[in-house]
Chain A
Amino acid sequence: MATTAQSHPPPTAVRRRSPGFPLQVRAALQGLLIPILSVFTAVLVGSVLILLNGRDPITAYEGLLEGAFLEPRGLLATFRNMTPLVFSGLAVAFAIKSGLFNIGVQGQLIIGSVVAAWVGYAVEGLPPLLHVTLAMLAAALAGAIWGAIPGALKAYTDAHEVITTIMLNYIAISFAGWLISTGSADGTIKPGPFASPASAEDAIARTPDILESAKLPVIYSVPPNFDLHIGIFLAIITTILITFLLFRTTFGFQLRMVGYSPNAAQYAGVNVKRVIILTMAIAGLLGGMAGGIQTLGVNHRYEGNQSLGLGFDGITVAFLAGNSALGVNISAFLFGAMEAGTTRMARSADVAIELIQVLQATILMLVAADQIVRRLYRIREVGEGRARQSSGASAGKDG
C-alpha cells in the first residue's frame, strides 16, 4: 500500500513539511547546508586520522585556525593563497558550464607562469604599471592558446578533452622544463632559452628574477618577508566579469546552451565548434592568469616545482562550489585558509601536512555524493517530485 502511494502520489496528498519557506529558499538553503555538513564531516574524519596517529585533534585544528586567521599574517596569507585558486577554480567552473571538463588547468597555469616570468625579466624600460599589465596579459594569452588547443581538438576531431588536457599538462611540464633547463655540465647541451645565467652555477633550473617593474603592487606588508599583492582584487573583478559573461551576454547564453544540449544548440543555430573553442580558450586564459599571478605576485620567477597542484586544486575548488563563480571564491577561501594553516598545524600538533589533502578529498567526495551526507544527517531532498540530478549533479546545473 505504502509503496504504491509513493510511486503514484494521489493529487490530494499534498505534503506539508516545514511550513513558511517557499521551495526555492529551502533549495537554496540546502545548497549551502550540504557543503557545510561535508566540511564538518571531513573535519571529523580528519580527527579520527589524527587520533590514529596518536596526536591531539583539538591542538591540530587550533593550530590550523590560528595559522589561517590569527597569526600576524594569518588572514593575509589566506587571501594570498586563495587568489590563484579563484582563477584555477573559475577555469574549471567556466568550462563545465558548456559541458567541458578542463583537467588541464595545471598545464595552462605552468605556461602562464613561465611566460609571465619571461616578460617580467626580458622586457626592460617599461613603467611599472604597464610592465606588470603586459606580463599579466602575456600569461593570460599564453594560457588561452594552451587552452584553445584541446578545445579545437574537441571541436574538430572529437578528441575527449579530459585526456587531451591531461596530456597537455605533461607537455607543459616538459616544455617549461626545457625552457628553463640548465643544459649539460660539459656544455654540449645548451641551456634552455629562458634559463637564468645564475642557474649554471647552482644547477637549480629557473628563470632570472623578474624586474621590480613587473611585480604586482603590494597592498600590505608584514615584516620580515610577507607581502600581500593586489591579486585578490583582480580575482574579485574577474569573478564579476565571468559571471556577467555567463549570464548577461549572448555568448554566455550560447555557452550554457551547449552545456545543456549540444544538439539542441546546434539546431538553434549556435556555432557549437566556435563555442567549444572559445570556452576552452577563456578557461585557459583564467588558468594562465592563475600562473601569472603566482609568478608576478609571489614567486617572482619560474622554477620547475613551484605551484604544483594549484591547477589540480582548481578542480576540487570548482566542484566544492557547485561550479558557481561566487561559490568558487568561498571554497578558494576555505582551501587558502587550510593551506595557510597547515604549517602552524604541523608545528603545534606534529601532524603531517598531507592531512589537508585527505580533508579536501573527503569534502569533494561528500559534496559530489550528496546522498551520503543526506543519509548521514537525514536531510530530505527539496521537492521530491523533481527529477534527481544524477550524474550531472555538480556538472553545470546550478549557477
Chain B
Amino acid sequence: MGEVELGLAIVATINAAIRFSIPITLGALSGIMSERSGIVNIGIEGMMLMAAFTGFMTNVYLSEPGVSETLQSAPVRLALSLAVAMLTGGAMGLLHALLSIQYKVNQIISGTVINILAVGLTGYFYAGDTSTLGKLPNLISNPWPKSSASELVLRDNFSFFLPHDIGRILFDKDLITYLTFALVLVFGWTLFNTTWGLRTRSVGENPRAADTLGINVFRVQYTNLFLGGMLAGLGGAFLSLAAVGVFERNMTTGRGFIALAVMIFGNWRPSGALWGALLFGFAMALQGQLQQFGINFPHQLVGMLPYILTIVVLAGFVGRAQPPAFAGQTYEQE
C-alpha cells in the first residue's frame, strides 16, 4: 500500500462521514417531523437550499463595511444568519402546509413546487462575487495536542496518536454539528414521551380519530411543518455557514432527497435516522477516500450503495419500513 497513512485516512474518513451526515440528519428529522403528522414532504431539498441562501446572504450583508460593529461581531452576525436561515426554512414549511392543507394540493406536487421554486429563486438572486467575515468557528478545539500524544503503531503506515486522534473526531466541530446530535436525542424523546409527540403520531396515523378526540389536526400539521422547515433550514445553514462557508447554486445536490431515504431507512425514528445518515455519510466519505486506502475501485459504484440499500430496506428485504398510516393523504374535516 506504499505511502498511504492508514491511521490518518481512517480519522479523515470518519470526520468526513460526520460532516456529510449532519445536513442529512437534519433533513431526515425534518421529514420525520412532517410525515409523522401525516404530510409527505419531498420539498426538504428546496427548503435547505433556500435557507442556505438566505442565511449566507445575511452573513454577506452583515459583513459589508458600514454595518455597526456589534452586528458584525462573530456571535451576533452568525446568530442572525442562522436565525434567518431557520426562519426561511420555517416559512417554506408553512408554504408547504398552506398548499397541501389549505389548498389541498397533492403533497408531492406541493413539494415539487418548493424544490423548483428554491432552485429558481436562489439562482435568480444569487449574483456571486460575495465575501463574508467568516463562517461558524469550531466550538471546542482539540485539547490534546499531537506532540504530547503517544503513538499506537499497529503496522507500518498504520498508527494512531492517542488521545490526539480521538480528540480530532470528538472536537474541532461547529455548533450545528453538536446541536444536531442533541436534537436527535431531544426529538426522539419528545416524539414518544410528550403530549405533543402523541398528538403528532396520532394525527399521522389516524387524523379522524385524533379529530374526534378534540385534537386540532390542522394546527398540529402547521406547527410540525413550521418546525420541520426550521430543521431543514438548519441543515441548509450548515452547508453555507459552517461546512462550506459559501453559497453555491444548487449546493444541496440532492441531500434533501437522501434525507428522505435516511428517514425511511431509520423507520421514521430520529435515532434510526441518525444511524442511517452516518451510514450514508460514510458511503459518501468513502467515495472520496477510497484511493487513500489504496483501493482501486471506481468510486461511482460505491456511491450507488446507499441508494440500493434504501431500496432494499424499503422493499422490506431487511427489516420492515412502516410509514405513518395517513402520510400523503389529504385530511378533510367533516
Contacts and interface: CB of A to CB of B under 8 A. Distances in A.
B104 interface: yes
Contacts of B137: none
Contacts of B297: 189
B67 interface: no
15 contacts: A159-B315, A163-B314, A167-B308, A168-B307, A174-B303, A178-B298, A188-B296, A315-B112, A354-B120, A355-B120, A357-B124, A361-B113, A362-B117, A364-B113, A365-B99
Interface in B258-317: 258, 260-261, 264, 291, 296-298, 300-301, 303-304, 307-308, 310-311, 314-317
A163 B264 contact: yes
B-side interface size class: 35 or more
Interface in A171-207: 171, 174-175, 177-178, 181, 183-184, 188-189, 192
- Interface-central residue, A159, A390, A393, by most chain B CB under 10 Å: A159
Contacts of B8: none
B124 A157 contact: no
Interface residues of A, number: 55
A369 B258 CA distance: 27
Contacts of A157: 314-317
Given A189-B298, A365-B117, A391-B329, A163 B106 contact: no
A369 B120 contact: no
A333 interface: no
Given A178-B301, A358-B120, A369-B105, 13 more contacts: A157-B317, A158-B316, A162-B40, A162-B108, A175-B300, A177-B303, A316-B116, A355-B120, A355-B124, A361-B116, A361-B120, A364-B116, A390-B104
B109 interface: yes
B120 A360 contact: yes
Interface of B: 40, 42, 99, 103-110, 112-113, 116-117, 119-125, 249, 254, 257-258, 260-261, 264, 291, 296-298, 300-301, 303-304, 307-308, 310-311, 314-317, 323, 329-330, 332
Contacts of A354: 119-124, 249
B124 to A, nearest CB: 4
A369 B298 contact: no
A127 interface: no
A147 B329 CA distance: 24
B106, B117, B121, B296 interface centre (most CB from chain A within 10 Å): B106
A101 B108 contact: yes
B298 A192 contact: yes
Contacts of A357: 116-117, 119-120, 123-124
A270 interface: no
A53 B123 CA distance: 13
Nearest to A367: B109
B240 to A, nearest CB: 17
A98 interface: no
Contacts of B301: 174-175, 178
Contacts of A103: 42, 108
Interface in A319-370: 319, 352-362, 364-365, 368-369
B289 to A, nearest CB: 14
B140 to A, nearest CB: 35
A358 B124 contact: yes
Interface in A15-57: 49, 53
Nearest to B304: A174
A13 B323 CA distance: 47
Contacts of A178: 298, 300-301
A312 B300 CA distance: 22
Contacts of A183: 298
Interface in A353-399: 353-362, 364-365, 368-369, 371-372, 388, 390-395
Contacts of A365: 99, 105, 110, 113, 117
Contact of A364 (B109, B125, B254): B109
B311 A159 contact: yes
A394 B108 CA distance: 11
Contact of B109 (A174, A181, A368, A390): A368
